[in-house]
Amino acid sequence: MRSFPPLPDVRGSQGTEDLLTGHLWLLELIDGTGLRFRMDESGLLRFGDPETTYADPDAVPVALRPAVRRVRERFDREAFRDAVDDPEAVVFFGVATHHRGTDYDWDRLPAFLGTDVWAGAGDGAFRPPDAAGAAFEGIGLDAVNAIEREVNARDFDPYEYAVPESVWRDGPAAGVVVRNKRGGRGKIPAEDAVTDAGEDGPDGDRDAPELDDPETIAATYATGGRIERVVADLDRRGEGSTVDAVADRVVESIARETPVRFGAGGGSADPDRVRVAVVERARAALAEQ
């Protein structure tokens, strides 16, 4: 699966002569982790983050599972097959949206936002931003939002540019991605951004608290309101709000929407142990309904 394209800081020392030419698209930089996928001939979707590809969706880190589920549920395989000659030669890129220092309106922000489409075999190319946006729309997925389109590069000064408010939160965007239609790209991070997340991959929740005790995590974040939202979502989908299903989704919600970090190593929570702590709360909440 093709790697994510580099996304250097436009204001940094790396050259931007290939970027600040022609007409530019300015896209909101979303604070999350890169997620890429492609479809096999059989129709099976294969996923990867910026560093790893996963043979099984269950192997995907818990914070990225809502994004994987959204893609799997919405991806229109028939529309995709009709649109391209060789489906296996296309790789889709985007952001799995989860808490990495930026508090978004999680109920509104899609779990996955598309950013790029690679089309073709070894000699292929990334599609221009307008074509990539149309491609995501055509397969049933949301693309990252454009802030401005077709800005003349002669009128754009990255050092004077002020990062605007985010569409997805009450506050500034994490930054802006600058692209042209010839493949040039870079980013302008917000001055107070706490991560370099987004299309260029994860670098960790640098300001996240070291909260790893399962009971404390469950008591803090497996609230009645969160459980109710999960139950309502499962019922709306017709999937059934069993204790196990509710516990799984609550853990995913905690991983996506809170500063708790899941994974191996110090300062990280074990998702299986947190799930055990959440199960009793889910059982009690469902018994009251």
CATH of the domain at 136: 3.30.470.30
- Does the residue 60 lie in any domain? yes
**One domain, residues 62 and 157:** yes
Pick from 127, 105, 125, 99: nearest CA to 114: 127
- Does the residue 47 lie in any domain? yes
pLDDT at 276: 96
Angstrom distance (rounded) from CA 239 to CA 234: 5
**One domain, residues 160 and 219:** no
pLDDT at 263: 79
**One domain, residues 220 and 180:** no
Angstrom distance (rounded) from CA 284 to CA 174: 39
Ordered alpha helix ranges (H), the chain: 65-74, 77-83, 129-138, 214-221, 224-237, 243-257, 271-288
- Does the residue 259 lie in any domain? yes
The domain boundary, picked from 189, 223, 253, lies at: 189
pLDDT at 48: 96
pLDDT, tens only, 82-110: 999 899 999 999 999 999 999 999 999 99
Angstrom distance (rounded) from CA 247 to CA 275: 6
pLDDT at 257: 96
pLDDT at 185: 92
Angstrom distance (rounded) from CA 110 to CA 272: 25
**One domain, residues 182 and 135:** yes
Range of the domain at 85: 23-189
pLDDT at 124: 86
pLDDT, tens only, 198-240: 343 333 444 444 577 899 999 999 999 999 999 999 999 888 8
| Least confidently predicted of 5-14, 49-58, 150-159, 221-230 | 5-14
Residue 1 structure tokens: 């699966």
- Are residues 259 and 98 in contact, defined by beta-carbon separation less than 8 angstroms? no
Average model confidence (pLDDT) for the chain?
89
The reported pTM is: 0.90
Per-residue pLDDT band for 16 (boundaries 50, 70, 90) equals low
CA distances from 289 to 141, 148, 222, 232 (A): 34, 47, 17, 12
pLDDT at 239: 87
**One domain, residues 157 and 235:** no
- Does the residue 15 lie in any domain? no
pLDDT at 264: 57
Per-residue pLDDT band for 181 (boundaries 50, 70, 90) equals confident
**One domain, residues 268 and 138:** no
Our count of domains for the chain comes to 2
- Does the residue 45 lie in any domain? yes
